[in-house]
Amino acid sequence: QKEVEQDPGPLSVPEGAIVSLNCTYSNSAFQYFMWYRQYSRKGPELLMYTYSSGNKEDGRFTAQVDKSSKYISLFIRDSQPSDSATYLCAMSEYAGNNRKLIWGLGTSLAVNP
Amino acid sequence: DTGVSQDPRHKITKRGQNVTFRCDPISEHNRLYWYRQTLGQGPEFLTYFQNEAQLEKSRLLSDRFSAERPKGSFSTLEIQRTEQGDSAMYLCASSFLAQETQYFGPGTRLLVL
């Protein structure tokens, strides 16, 4: 079993829809949770960063972390064609100097005009 | 542009040749990471530096791979005797010591023929 599971999709929605993206994980030591957006042939771009449990909102984006269920979500409201990209979840634990990120496979999202 | 930069953006080489990639992190960041990403996968951790010290190397990093960060600023990743299986996007990221968030460069796409 991979440490981080993420449905690769593809997910296709009409413009204006609410999008829900999810990851599950197995390592209860993870404390830092991130969502990255990656356009084709580009490096990942940080969207949201959350420490421990709870919700965080930034514009049209909301990140949720449920540590009891080992489940994180990213919601995109009023989705736009420019949101079409691959969305990667990533997480890390505090373990001294070891802060490498563990990644999901990424979910490919297409928002259709 | 004050983000992470990588050079070259694309590299095509023949099997058996050596290649070297460069990464310039965000200037005040003292941590620098190298990842490898293949199509449809999340980034895989290769190695990371804190200042000039290389603190961890993944088992993925065979003897043919070497990374340096001689003055704690830019870093180079060299692959010797390239193999077709080395074809991938090589991503560099940097972070500030007290933060978990890693900021990525645009990547170097390597194709080994």
The pLDDT value given to residue B100:
66
Q: Which residues of chain A have pLDDT under 70?
A: 94-99
The mean pLDDT of chain B is 92
Alpha carbon of B47: minimum distance to chain A alpha carbons (Å): 9
Task: Spell out which residues of chain A touch residue B56, defining contact as CB-CB under 8 Å.
Answer: 97-98, 100
Residues present in chain B in total: 113
A43–B41 C-beta distance less than 8 A: no
B91–A43 C-beta distance less than 8 A: yes
A104–B42 C-beta distance less than 8 A: yes
Is the pLDDT score of B1 beyond 60? no
The pLDDT value given to residue A20:
97
State the first-to-last Cα distance of chain B, in angstroms, to the nearest integer. Answer: 33
Biggest CA–CA distance in chain A, Å, is 47
The pLDDT value given to residue A84:
97
Span B33-71, pLDDT tens digits: 999 999 888 899 899 999 999 988 988 788 999 999 998
Span A44-66, pLDDT tens digits: 999 998 888 889 999 999 999 99
Q: Is the dihedral of CA B12, B24, A41, A9 positive or negative?
A: positive
Q: Cα separation of A83 and A87, whole Å?
A: 9
Question: What count of other Cβ atoms lies within 10 Å of the Cβ of residue A98?
Answer: 12
Nearest to A88 among B6, B31, B42 (CB): B42
